[in-house]
Amino acid sequence: MNMSPVLHDTQRRDRMLTIGAALLGLALLFVFDSMFDPFTMQIFKLCAINIILALSLNLINGFTGLFSLGHAGFMAVGAYTCAILSMSPDQKAANYVLQPIVPWLANVHLPFLPSLLVAGLFAGFIGWILGIVALRLRDDYLAIATLGFSEIIRVLLTNAQTITNGSLGLKGLPRYTTMWWAWGSAIAITIFLVLLIKSSYGRAFKSIRDNEIAAEAMGIDVFGMKVLSFTISSALAGIAGGLLAHYLTTIDPKQFIFLKTFDILLIVVLGGVGSITGSVVAAIVVTVSMEALRFLDGPLNLGFMVTHGIPGLRMVFFSALLMIVVIYRQQGLMGTAEFSWASLSRIGLLPKRSSKEAAR
């Protein structure tokens, strides 16, 4: 629109800042990779996986305005798909002790990248099917239906013993999820979502969230867009599940109970429903503090009394935090706003505009 040369200056400055920040981030990854001990590194990787999970849940809940609680199910689909595809036939023979794996899967052995992509595609496919059925529902009904779906997945995983090894789970998965895989995927998916939200599809998602009837009257295929958003969200959750499987190296159906969905929902709500920046920041903060607050679970000397360790006390902190946010700052950290260099200059961390522009 307004392409005056002065505005161009700010744009160029912002582009330089973005490139600079990206290089700095890359350098930081290198430094962390060599500096951190393995335990810290694990948490650092988990941050990246949680970013993907939070972003994918935010796409459906925050940007499209559909209250879905099926994320644990899609993660499970992705985790199992990726694990089964990437295990070697020998590992499979060692794992499936009670009942052997079905023959058509026994000799499948794919590298990590194709396994991960198939995991995403398959989770997306399941999301597409569920979407076509469940997205006729709205609000709480949709939440209940998707929650139920996620539990169905878990029950299926427990009982399809010849495919999933049932409640024994899968152990000794290769530790493929290095820092580069975790953060590489997180960064790629973040960029993909930023571009998606800025595209006409993203605008259509947001218009459905804001006012479904008006969106329909504008000629937007509301149902089709909802299914699309749901499918993408499920596929990304599947990829995160695959990364998680090869991060933990052990998976079993119990990991994917519906409480897992609420862990992600916590991140989304704290960060801001409808903000990519918010989800990224909150995913890092929550993941790090989950570990940093581990001392709360151990013996505590409160001065007037000494506890002998209450497992799960650190979760009380997050419950309290969630209550405070819901009461005093419903929009979360960012609301629906996003980080931009312009917002930095508004709060005075960057010069407002170049002198030339000010003279205008």
Binding status of residue 203 toward other proteins by CB under 8 A: yes
Point out which span in 72-80, 136-144, 210-218, 231-239 binds other proteins (CB under 8 A).
210-218
- Bridge partners of 301, per DSSP, are 306
- Residue among 214, 310, 316, 323 that touches other proteins (CB under 8 A): 214
State which residue, 43 or 337, has the beta carbon closest to other proteins: 337
CA 340, distance to chain mean position in Å, is 21
Binding status of residue 340 toward other proteins by CB under 8 A: no
Q: How far is the CB of 14 from other proteins (least distance, A)?
A: 16
- Residue among 200, 304, 305, 349 that touches other proteins (CB under 8 A): 200
Binding status of residue 62 toward other proteins by CB under 8 A: no
Binding status of residue 34 toward other proteins by CB under 8 A: no
Q: Please state, in angstroms and rounded to a whole number, the distance separating the CA atoms of residues 277 and 55.
A: 9
- Residue among 217, 292, 320, 344 that touches other proteins (CB under 8 A): 217
Joined together, the tokens standing for residue 180 give: 């580069």
Q: How far is the CB of 286 from other proteins (least distance, A)?
A: 25
Binding mask 263-292 for other proteins (x = CB under 8 A): -----------x------------------
CB-based burial label for 148 (10 Å; 0-12, 13-18, 19+) = middle
Q: Which residue in the block uniquely carries the two structure tokens 């218009």?
A: 207
Binding status of residue 134 toward other proteins by CB under 8 A: no
Q: How far is the CB of 212 from other proteins (least distance, A)?
A: 9
Judge whether 1 and 346 are in contact, CB under 8 Å: no
State residue 176 phi and psi, 5-degree precision: -75, -30
Question: Which DSSP state fits 170?
Answer: B
State which residue, 213 or 327, has the beta carbon closest to other proteins: 213
State residue 321 phi and psi, 5-degree precision: -60, -45
Q: Please state, in angstroms and rounded to a whole number, the distance separating the CA atoms of residues 111 and 239.
A: 15
Q: How many CA atoms lie within 13 A of 58 on its CB side?
A: 34
Binding residues vs other proteins (CB under 8 A): 1, 200, 203-204, 206-207, 209-211, 213-221, 274, 336
